[in-house]
Amino acid sequence: MTPVLESERLILRGWKREDFSAYAAFCADPERTRYIGGQKDAFQAWTSFATMPGAWVLNGYGMFAVQPKDTDAVAGYVGLWHPPLIDEPELAWSLYAGFEGKGYAVEAARRVQAWAAKELRLPPLMSFVHPDNLASQAVARRLGAEPMSATELRGEPRLRFRHILPA
């Protein structure tokens, strides 16, 4: 069961079937997906979408839907991504078109950091960021993350950031 977390302006919650259309639109957008594997058609988007609630069953944590408190719309996702191909969970985030530039990614990620440290007792998290993704690099830095050695993920270069434990 996905917990519900709240921050000042956001609700981080589990996924609903009706969230799929916004997710599919995000997946179809080449600009928004260029650093995370590229566009997906509707069937590929559904498969990806269905893995998010599935990760909660398999790992006990996963991605939250990000919903601003002043709307029913889903603004994107944030949470812990941990396929068995990587050694530790990644703190990851993406926002849908129209929701960037409001500080939502930082606010949501900070809330997940606190939850992961307090409830899951995880050590400081890390994030993979494409070297060309300046917006996500800025989010990582605003979260207080420090760059580590570069690596590769899905056959592409990635910067790796280590977050600090929240206070």
Asked whether residue 167 carries a pLDDT value surpassing 80, the answer given is: no
Kindly state whether residue 69 falls inside one of the protein's structural domains. Answer: yes
Total domains in the fold of the chain: 1
Any idea what the Cα angle at residue 75 is, between residues 74 and 76, rounded to 5°? 100
Question: Residues 6 or more apart from 33 whose CB is under 8 A from it?
Answer: 26, 27, 39, 40
* Contact of 112 with 79, CB cutoff 8 Å: yes
Cα distances (angstroms) measured from residue 8 to each of 47, 57, 67, 70, 107: 32, 28, 12, 11, 8
Kindly state whether residue 27 falls inside one of the protein's structural domains. Answer: yes
Of the candidates 163, 159, 162, 141, which has an alpha carbon nearest to the alpha carbon of residue 150? 159
Question: Which pLDDT belongs to residue 108?
Answer: 98
Question: Which pLDDT belongs to residue 154?
Answer: 83
Task: Give tens-digit pLDDT for 86-133.
Answer: 999 999 999 999 999 999 999 999 999 999 999 999 999 999 999 999
Question: Which pLDDT belongs to residue 1?
Answer: 84
Question: Which pLDDT belongs to residue 23?
Answer: 98
Q: What is the pTM of this model?
A: 0.94
Structure tokens at 14: 């589990």
Q: What is the DSSP string of 14-30?
A: ---GGGHHHHHHHHH-H
Query: Domain range holding 61?
Result: 5-162
Kindly state whether residue 102 falls inside one of the protein's structural domains. Answer: yes
**CATH label of the domain that carries residue 76:** 3.40.630.30
Kindly state whether residue 54 falls inside one of the protein's structural domains. Answer: yes
Kindly state whether residue 167 falls inside one of the protein's structural domains. Answer: no
Task: Give tens-digit pLDDT for 21-61.
Answer: 999 999 999 999 999 999 999 999 999 999 999 999 999 99
Task: Give tens-digit pLDDT for 130-160.
Answer: 999 999 999 999 999 999 988 988 888 999 9
Asked whether residue 166 carries a pLDDT value surpassing 90, the answer given is: no
